[in-house]
Amino acid sequence: MAVSNTQVIFDNLYGIFTYLAIIVGVIVFALMAYLIIRYRAKNSSSDPEDTPRLGRIPTSRGHGRNVLITVTLSTFL
């Protein structure tokens, strides 16, 4: 049974994209692990003033402009 030329091309592309996805995944997980370890909470540090507390409604942390920018960027992405 003969294999078409396009099937070989797509098979090669699939392999390339798979290897690239694995490399990107390893980089992302390594960076996440590094940042989690580097910026973990320490016993000597206290919580900031605007930290949400259980049972209390959090106060506003920004302006309406921040919400507008976030929604606009999310819409475009």
- Express each pLDDT in 10-56 by its tens digit: 999 999 999 999 999 999 999 999 999 998 877 877 877 777 788 88
Segment 46-73 mean pLDDT: 79
pLDDT computed for residue 32 by the predictor: 97
pTM score, two decimals? Answer: 0.55
CA-angle at 18, arms to 15 and 23, nearest 5°:
125
Q: DSSP letters along 33-64, please?
A: HHHHHHT---TTPPPPTT---TTSPPPP-S-H
Q: Is residue 59 predicted with pLDDT exceeding 80?
A: no
For residues 58 and 49, is the Cβ–Cβ distance under 8 A?
no
Task: Specify the 3-state DSSP secondary structure of 63.
Answer: coil
pLDDT band at 61 (very low <50, low <70, confident <90, very high): low
Q: What is the pLDDT of residue 18?
A: 98
Distance between CA atoms of residues 62 and 28, nearest Å: 29
